[in-house]
A = this chain, B = another copy of it.
């Protein structure tokens, strides 16, 4: 197996009949999936998603792939193919289209409907091309065939990419539910046909490569949801992802079967299910839906609410219900169903919501105590099927953290892919497919681009480091006014501190020390602001460390009057 090395440098030119593959996101992380393919000087992009920040990135709203690698070559981009409409595959499209609005956006019907709705909110009118499984389309040098895959959102696609360099199969996110709700199976027959033709490189979803066995069918969740709804004493509140059409369908069916009305709560839930219903992906029986204002007029045992907030997002309806900070008041006898996965990093927030809801007397049903969620990603057992059917010459695990990529590589090895033909890359690592052999040839920048409020890319690692220090320790600012001509202090020292956990009265001692430091400095003829700043910083820093064993940010401000 080839491992990337930190010392990788910029790659040399691509061989004439070679295909270059540059993952700008999604390798070494779960999220912001984006891969750039290059052949004959032209580019094709598959997916363009966002990553959600962790606590290490405080205050950040979203993380985008770094477009720097293609910024000067946007005119070379033939198209962006979106495999499905999850945020980690489409969320960065608005930011890419800001740089060139007419890049053709290619996807299935539901995918295009959802990205178009999102782009409308960004006031962008995209150029789109609707494709579906079984079709082939040519984008410049790139000949693409689309294959059905099933996932936790309808209408997902895999892409078989043919160029003179060879045949690449990129699965996108997928699982292999053999009894899917919409009957749309992952096209293993197609995978087998491509395998027979000869796949030069397989790029396959690694998310669940560490999970042994097989994913339970989505269909097995229906009866559990039905039973929860049937046996609930009062209201039922279901929280799930705003894009999980099949899960919502099962909730609607359970409500209908038990004489309950359904109300959708949350902007993205209402928007997405509106789109899904309009396109026929969601079947809504007449008279089933009610508006939120009508709920209070219905007896609690006739109500099902479907809401976002399954990840414990603090501002979501569900979190606010848990805090009694929402017009829907949880009471003894209510049932809350968390019909979704728990995305790593959200454990604490979700636990807080469960405790809050329980405190008010709700019964909380979640994947820890009932079969109310199955993953959208194929497990190891299923990944082996794909590897055996496609028999790739080269293999590159995608969509996953290191642990997942490595586990997937092991599976490939077990199925007989030669160790040397397995490429574990990470974001920015450049892989060339030349003469039937995939190998790492260098690396390009692929850092995090942070979105915070309206700004994109202006928050730097330095800002985040400052935030982490401020968030852990607070700051102490010392303001002094200096008459630079007379060389003496004319105002202050004044202390302004926040988050340092030191009472104002306790600063008297250090104010006196700073004053003494400045007197000494004046005597020594030191008037340079930078030097004075240093002296103040040192005096205050030592005082805090000695007396409190803490290291707040120290911000000396010497104002010349």
A466 to B184, CA, bound (A): 52
Number of residues on chain A facing chain B (CB within 8 A): 68
**Minimum C-beta distance from A509 to chain B (A):** 15
Known: A401-B351, A549-B454. A470 touches B499 (CB 8 A): yes
Q: Which of B3, B59, B347, B474 contacts A467 (CB 8 A)?
A: B474
Number of copies of this protein chain within its complex: 2
The yes or no answer to A475 lying at the interface (CB within 8 A) is yes
Q: Give A364 to B557 CA distance when docked, in angstroms.
A: 49
Beyond A348-B55, A458-B501, A481-B481, is A474–B468 a contact (Cβ under 8 Å)? no
Convert A300-311 into 0s and 1s, putting 1 for each residue whose CB lies closer than 8 angstroms to a CB of B. 000000000000
Q: How far is the CB of A80 from chain B (nearest CB, A)?
A: 27
The verdict on A355 contacting chain B, using a C-beta distance below 8 Å, is yes
Q: Which residue of B lies closest to A332 (CB)?
A: B3
Q: Could you tell me if A475 and B472 are in contact, using CB atoms closer than 8 angstroms?
A: no
Contact string, A475-497, partner B, CB cutoff 8 A, digits 1/0?
A: 10101010000000011101010
Q: Is A295 an interface residue (CB 8 A)?
A: no
Q: Is the CB of A437 closer than 8 A to any CB of chain B?
A: no
Indicate whether A327 reaches chain B with its CB closer than 8 angstroms.
no
Q: How far is A368 from B407 in the complex, measured between Cα atoms in Å?
A: 13
User: In the complex, which residues 395-411 of chain A have their Cβ closer than 8 Å to any Cβ of chain B?
Assistant: 401-403, 406
The answer on a CB contact under 8 Å between B402 and A358 is yes
A493, closest chain B residue (CB):
B559
Residue contacts A-B, CB under 8 angstroms, 21 given: A28-B355, A59-B471, A59-B473, A59-B550, A345-B347, A345-B348, A351-B403, A355-B402, A358-B402, A364-B403, A453-B550, A454-B549, A459-B501, A463-B499, A464-B499, A470-B499, A477-B557, A494-B557, A496-B557, A498-B553, A559-B559
The 10 closest A-B pairs by CB, nearest first: A471-B471, A453-B549, A470-B470, A466-B499, A59-B472, A459-B501, A467-B499, A453-B550, A355-B402, A463-B501
